[in-house]
Amino acid sequence: MPTRGLGNNSGPWRYLAGGSLAVAITTVFMMRRHPASLLVSTGDAAALGKLWNSATEFMLSVPPESEHVVLVPREQAKGKTVKKIPQYFASHVVFALTAFDPPGQSRSLEVNTRENGRLFQKLSELRSEGRVTAIWPAFGVHVVEKWREDGFCVAFSRSDAAAGRSAIMAIATAFGQGAVYEYTAATSSLDREWELLRHTVPAVSGPEVAGTEKMVRVETGPPIEGTALDRPWAGPEGWH
């Protein structure tokens, strides 16, 4: 399945990943699982959960203005330019998931791209039922571990959060995913402008991977330009 041209070598996306260019467009960065090799070699679910909870995330085309946004755990934002959270998150719950390598598997990019196409079909069925308010592409990167997983963000109105969570967890489990991220607004109105809560919700993994982090929006993500992580987004054409 062809990939959509949203990688760092495609148009404005080059400005998102902390390269040497002077102008930066904001992004959100997302990581759903540690590499399958770690799962096989250690089986340490608690360590896996710690890694998931410390990940940075990229989201593309966040509604309503198609913003690119980068979110990092608050403690990783020191020395970075922090920006306000898009207002959209105040009225919606957003889930992030992928069809890339289930725990214990290592597949080719071509196969993972095809699986993301299947995942998009399932998410589109939810949207056709009127249960989804928006879907947009995203990807997660772990620079130290040199891995990247591409997927989707799926938004529900806050009043539909419970039903949305149930539907998303069922899909993630069907695709063999260890966990998904659930983004919710901060509790206080002041914090809501500057941070999100990110909950790691186990799917096929156990409760050891669960956690909650305070996430902030930064101007640029980690530098991946010119590395193996620097490629177009791996998902179906016509994702929107």
The domains of the chain are located at 11-218
Distance, CA of 113 to CA of 239 (rounded, Å):
12
3-state secondary structure of 159: helix
Distance, CA of 203 to CA of 193 (rounded, Å):
30
The DSSP symbol for 233 reads B
Distance, CA of 226 to CA of 146 (rounded, Å):
12
pLDDT, tens digit, 9 for 90 and up, residues 69-89: 999 889 888 889 999 999 999
Residue 192 token pair: 């809501």
Mean pLDDT of 33-57: 60
**Strands 211-218 and 67-73, how do they pair?**
antiparallel
Does 166 or 144 have the greater pLDDT score? 166
Q: Which amino acid is at 202?
A: P
pLDDT, tens digit, 9 for 90 and up, residues 99-158: 998 877 889 999 999 999 999 999 999 999 998 999 999 988 777 777 788 999 999 999
Most confident of 126-130, 167-171, 210-214: 167-171
Q: Give yes or no for residue 32 having a pLDDT over 80.
A: no
199 within 8 A of 163, measured Cβ to Cβ = no
